[in-house]
């Protein structure tokens, strides 16, 4: 960019240096805990932690429950997000407000409210019992907690993706005789897939790291975050941190892949 | 000039890195006036945050900063340097023992927090539980009821929580003292960390209040503060009498990691840690030993007794509290 300002003042340079500096600072601040974690935990400590009897089961519990939670989100959250994005009806704004409220709710509060809603002695809890499910200290309860913690992130992300679709292209498809359903599967979904995957990656991170609602309704079975918490309380930080690193290693590949794929698809 | 700018950016970045990598201390630092930075057992939360903390700050002029969590967890965090309070209050002295000798060499016991069985007044078992609490039915009936199929009992994890340990040991003692069938112990409690009845400390009383449990382990103080009806237990099994320490010790429990723990009276124990803001820290402990603090403890459902000092180098200002 050309400027007529005297070269010794160079405001653009100052501004860009400031931008670089603040970027570095905020990045370091945000990533600092991660650097600390990697510096504090040696590979041998991870091996020791994972060799404890039963230490691998939280890993399986976390991955299994988070995958099922994601499946539920894709099947139920995608249609909801599409409706939120594309339906002109007024009532839909209420649905959107509901999602936003859930996003604002601290996970711990969600957990407490789930106790009131799904506990064994509530009507819904009774219905669950009929199909031999319980939302108290079970694998099912863990999935429920994870869905609650992750859903707003996926639905709102997917919604904004659908909002950004090229309206002209959709109109053309209608003119050519496509039904709404055909439009969704032929145009909306394929075009949105990279961004949807990004939203799903965020939801995955939220689900596998879910703790606030989990500690209330699913103290058992231990997933990785609960394992970190109880190990911290039983034997201390040094033995708890390796699990945090395992959590990171397990949950990271999917978001990274999604990130790179959506970057490539956008080019 | 350009070089100095680069150096500045690098320096800012490096200092941020160093700060974050060191895990900058979160404890309050003594700037203008001293603060009692108190880490305490989660069960003291209502009392400390609602009554004692504000009253102490008002009458003493020192600042007050509190945080509540499981006693053992807090002790672990203090040892690891994650938090640096200058007062530590736990239920039972075992968590304090983990801080000796590097952080402290003494503690004072001044109140007891007996174990009770709190119950929800609206579930189908409530009428019977109420009769037991009023003495119209013998206390031994309680243990039969806890063992009943379909009875929803909640307790905390003995591996991480002193209350969880005491409740487990209480059932063991009760069965022995009342000559009940010994199968009741496993019938009522199951495995140490029984998934059907072990909940986080955070959610246990909430579940009871929500009517999702018939009964739950609780400290008497919690039951009183939360207005939950409860069944008081005889002193011989409630871990609330410091003079029965020997009897309580006959109950034993093997934790998941193989460690064996013995029953101890559930006393509120306090100590001062570290060297910063020591005057505020001493004053906070002293406040609890004196009349205003004692009254607050009694009001909150604790039993208080003449302070018992254990260990060496008790600060004179604390020892001389009346």
- Count of pairs with CB atoms under 8 A, one residue in A, one in B: 110
The verdict on a CB contact (< 8 Å) between B212 and A120 is yes
Answer for the pair B163, B219: CB distance below 8 angstroms, yes or no.
Answer: yes
pLDDT for residue A2 is more than 60: no
Residue B178's region, left for phi above 0, alpha for psi from -120 to 50, else beta, is: alpha
**Is A234 in CB contact (< 8 Å) with chain B?**
yes
Q: What is the model's pLDDT at position A109?
A: 93
The verdict on a CB contact (< 8 Å) between B17 and A35 is yes
Q: What is the model's pLDDT at position B119?
A: 96
**First CA to last CA distance, chain B:** 67
Q: pLDDT averaged over chain A? A: 88
d(CA A159, CA A180): 17
Nearest residue on chain B to A236, alpha-carbon basis:
B76
Q: What is the pLDDT of residues B48-79, one digit of tens each?
A: 999 999 999 999 999 999 999 888 888 988 98
Look at the pTM and tell me if it is higher than 0.95. no
pLDDT for residue B143 is more than 90: yes
Q: What is the pLDDT of residues A114-133, one digit of tens each?
A: 999 998 888 999 899 999 99
Pick from A36, A120, A234: CB nearest B160: A234
As to burial, measured by CB atoms within 10 angstroms (0-12 exposed, 13-18 middle, 19+ buried), residue A68 is middle
Question: 3-state class of B160 per DSSP?
Answer: coil
If you average pLDDT over residues B273-286, what whole number do you get? 91
The token duo for A219 is: 């103290």
Q: What is the model's pLDDT at position A8?
A: 54
Q: What is the model's pLDDT at position B30?
A: 42
- The DSSP line for B166-217 is HHHHHHHHHHHHTT--THHHHHHH-STT-TTTB--HHHHHHHHHTTS-SEEE
> Cα dihedral sign for B75, B77, B81, B87?
negative
Pick from B13, B212, B255: CB nearest A115: B212
If you average pLDDT over residues B285-304, what whole number do you get? 94
- The DSSP line for B236-270 is HHHS--GGGHHHHHT-EEE-TTS-EEE----EEEE
d(CA B182, CA B131): 24
A238-to-A37, A163, B205 alpha-carbon distances in Å: 11, 46, 30
pLDDT for residue A237 is more than 80: no
Answer for the pair B318, B282: CB distance below 8 angstroms, yes or no.
Answer: yes
Q: What is the model's pLDDT at position A177?
A: 85
Q: What is the pLDDT of residues A132-148, one digit of tens each?
A: 999 989 999 999 999 99
Q: Nearest to residue A32, comparing CAs of B16, B26, B81, B27? A: B16
d(CA A9, CA B23): 39
Q: What is the model's pLDDT at position A33?
A: 86
The verdict on a CB contact (< 8 Å) between B13 and A230 is no
Question: 3-state class of B65 per DSSP?
Answer: strand
Answer for the pair B266, B166: CB distance below 8 angstroms, yes or no.
Answer: yes
Q: What is the pLDDT of residues A189-222, one digit of tens each?
A: 898 999 999 999 999 999 999 999 999 999 999 9
Q: What is the model's pLDDT at position B85?
A: 95
Q: Nearest to residue A74, comparing CAs of A213, A232, A175, A200? A: A200
pLDDT for residue B157 is more than 60: yes
Mutation test of the interface with chain B: which of A26, A57, A108, A236, choosing the one with the most B Cβ atoms within 10 A? Answer: A236
Q: What is the model's pLDDT at position B27?
A: 41
Answer for the pair B306, B64: CB distance below 8 angstroms, yes or no.
Answer: no
């Amino acid at each position: 960019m050309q400027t007529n300002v005297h070269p010794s003042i160079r405001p653009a340079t100052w501004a860009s240096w400031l931008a670089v500096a603040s970027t570095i600072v905020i990045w370091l601040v945000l990533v600092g805990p991660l650097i600390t974690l990697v510096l504090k935990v040696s590979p041998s400590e991870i091996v020791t932690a994972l060799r404890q009897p039963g230490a691998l089961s939280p890993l399986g519990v976390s991955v299994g429950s988070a995958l099922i939670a994601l499946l539920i989100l894709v099947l139920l959250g995608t249609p909801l997000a599409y409706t939120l994005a594309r339906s002109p009806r007024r009532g839909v704004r209420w649905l959107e407000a509901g999602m936003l409220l859930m996003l604002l709710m601290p996970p711990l509060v969600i957990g407490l409210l789930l106790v009131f809603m799904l506990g064994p002695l509530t009507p819904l809890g009774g219905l669950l019992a009929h199909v031999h499910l319980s939302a108290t200290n079970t694998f099912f309860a863990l999935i429920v907690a994870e869905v609650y913690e992750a859903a707003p992130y996926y639905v709102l992300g997917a919604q904004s993706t659908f909002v950004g679709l090229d309206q002209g292209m959709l109109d053309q498809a209608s003119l050519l005789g496509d039904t709404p359903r055909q439009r969704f599967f032929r145009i909306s979904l394929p075009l949105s897939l990279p961004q949807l995957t990004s939203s799903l990656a965020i939801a995955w991170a939220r689900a596998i790291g879910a703790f606030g609602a989990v500690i209330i309704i699913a103290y058992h079975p231990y997933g990785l975050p609960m394992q970190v918490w109880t190990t911290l309380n039983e034997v201390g930080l040094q033995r708890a941190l390796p699990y945090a690193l395992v959590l990171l290693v397990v949950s990271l590949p999917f978001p990274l892949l999604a990130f790179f794929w959506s970057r490539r698809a956008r080019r | 000039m350009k070089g100095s700018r680069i150096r500045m950016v690098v320096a800012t970045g490096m200092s941020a890195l160093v700060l974050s990598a060191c895990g900058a201390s979160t404890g309050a630092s003594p700037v203008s006036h001293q603060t009692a930075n108190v880490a305490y057992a989660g069960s003291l939360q209502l009392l400390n945050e609602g009554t004692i903390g504000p009253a102490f700050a008002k009458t003493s002029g020192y600042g007050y900063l509190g945080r509540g969590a499981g006693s053992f967890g807090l002790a672990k965090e203090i040892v690891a340097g994650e938090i640096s309070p200058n007062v530590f209050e736990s239920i039972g002295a075992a968590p304090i023992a983990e801080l000796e000798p590097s952080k402290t060499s003494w503690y004072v016991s001044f109140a007891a927090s007996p174990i009770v069985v709190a119950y929800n007044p609206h579930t189908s078992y409530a009428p019977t539980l109420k009769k037991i609490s009023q003495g119209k039915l013998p206390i031994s009936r309680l243990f039969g009821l806890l063992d009943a199929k379909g009875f929803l009992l909640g307790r905390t994890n003995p591996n991480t929580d002193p209350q969880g340990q005491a409740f487990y040991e209480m059932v063991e003692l009760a069965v022995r003292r009342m000559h009940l069938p010994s199968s009741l112990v496993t019938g009522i409690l199951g495995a140490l960390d029984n998934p059907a009845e072990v909940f986080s400390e955070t959610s246990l009383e909430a579940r009871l209040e929500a009517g999702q449990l018939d009964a739950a382990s609780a400290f008497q103080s919690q039951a009183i503060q939360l207005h939950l009806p409860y069944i008081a237990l005889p002193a011989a099994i409630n871990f609330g009498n410091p003079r029965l320490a020997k009897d309580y010790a006959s109950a034993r429990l093997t934790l998941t990691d193989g460690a064996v723990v013995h029953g101890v009276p559930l006393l509120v124990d306090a100590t001062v840690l570290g060297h910063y803001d020591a005057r505020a820290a001493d004053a906070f402990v002293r406040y609890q030993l004196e009349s205003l603090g004692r009254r607050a403890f009694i009001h909150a459902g604790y039993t208080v007794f003449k302070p018992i000092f254990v260990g060496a180098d008790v600060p004179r200002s604390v020892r001389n509290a009346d």
